[in-house]
């Protein structure tokens, strides 16, 4: 039963490495969305729908149902797969489930990226700043210095362009519709990661409300932020292992 990890924006699969060491299993696969640690195929428009199709295509190549885990935009991709192709998965987990709540408002940086002109300028300022300043920004948001350096080194024009296209394809009410679709879908066992200090997801009440709405188990990671898998990989791995062990025992 493979465990598939999908990361988000603006980062690469290196964010999972500390967590993988604590999971204690050899069937872990980390997928990198195009533009975020993987090449962008010719003709790929980097919209939310295209990433949805990309992830389905990756999972269809695997021979058995999957335990699917997503972080940030990877979490939204995971939720959409759970809503549209539950036949591909045994279970799903996301740390941004509250982003499909009708009351959720995109965070300030996302709104900047979604605004023509402002988004381009913001990307240029962010990725055009000295490397040391970029690393400091990632660290300020909660990433470890080591992973901040690796993520910054992977950033570039292709990632910046992908960010703008992705966020602009996800203006409201699209996320709300994704949540409605998930609420109507055939359910699979689910885990909501509620990192209480994550400043990008609306607050812990959004995650809790979503867990109730989707019939999901909730793992409250008090004091951890957006990059919980880097801040305390042991606690994050324990939450995932406990959840997956519960599936094996019924």
Is 66 within the bounds of a domain?
yes
Is 88 within the bounds of a domain?
yes
Is 53 within the bounds of a domain?
yes
Judged against a pLDDT cut of 80, whether residue 177 lies above it is answered with yes
**Percent of the chain scoring above 70 in pLDDT:** 100
Is 32 within the bounds of a domain?
yes
Is 137 within the bounds of a domain?
no
Number of domain units in the chain:
1
Note the pTM of the prediction, 2 decimals.
0.96
CATH number of the CATH domain containing 214 = 3.40.50.1820
Judged against a pLDDT cut of 90, whether residue 64 lies above it is answered with no
What is the number of other CB atoms lying within 10 angstroms of the CB of residue 118? 12
Give the ranges where 40-144 is alpha helix by DSSP (H): 48-60, 73-84, 108-114, 118-128, 131-140
Residue 39 structural domain: 3-104+174-248
Q: Which of 225, 180, 220, 171 is nearest to 201 (CA)?
A: 225
Judged against a pLDDT cut of 80, whether residue 102 lies above it is answered with yes
Average pLDDT, the chain: 95
Confidence label for 128 from pLDDT (cuts 50, 70 and 90): confident
Confidence label for 250 from pLDDT (cuts 50, 70 and 90): low
pLDDT digits (tens, 9 = 90+) for 216-226: 999 999 999 99
Average of per-residue pLDDT across 140-167: 91
Is 121 within the bounds of a domain?
no
Q: 220 — alpha (psi -120 to 50), left (phi > 0) or beta?
A: beta
């Amino acid at each position: 039963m493979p465990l598939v990890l999908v990361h988000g924006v603006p980062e690469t699969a290196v964010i999972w490495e500390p967590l993988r060491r604590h999971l204690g299993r050899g069937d872990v696969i980390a997928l990198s969305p195009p533009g975020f640690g993987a090449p962008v195929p010719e003709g790929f428009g980097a919209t939310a729908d295209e990433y949805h199709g990309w992830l389905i295509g990756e999972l269809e190549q695997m021979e058995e149902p999957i335990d699917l885990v997503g972080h940030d935009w990877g979490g939204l991709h995971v939720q959409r797969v759970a809503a549209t192709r539950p036949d591909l998965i045994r279970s799903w987990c996301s740390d941004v489930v509250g982003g499909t709540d009708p009351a959720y408002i995109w965070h300030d940086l996302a709104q900047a990226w979604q605004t023509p002109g402002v988004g381009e300028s913001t990307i240029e300022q962010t990725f055009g700043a000295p490397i040391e300043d970029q690393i400091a920004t990632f660290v300020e948001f909660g990433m470890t210095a080591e992973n901040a350096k690796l993520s910054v080194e992977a950033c570039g024009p292709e990632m910046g362009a992908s960010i703008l296209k992705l966020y602009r394809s996800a203006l409201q009410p699209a996320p709300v519709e994704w949540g409605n679709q998930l609420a109507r879908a055939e359910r699979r066992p689910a885990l909501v990661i509620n990192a209480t200090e994550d400043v990008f997801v609306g607050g812990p009440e959004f995650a809790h409300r979503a867990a109730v709405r989707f019939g999901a188990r909730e793992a409250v990671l008090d004091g951890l932020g957006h990059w919980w898998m880097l801040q305390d990989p042991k606690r994050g791995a324990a939450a995932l292992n406990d959840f997956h062990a519960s599936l094996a025992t019924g």
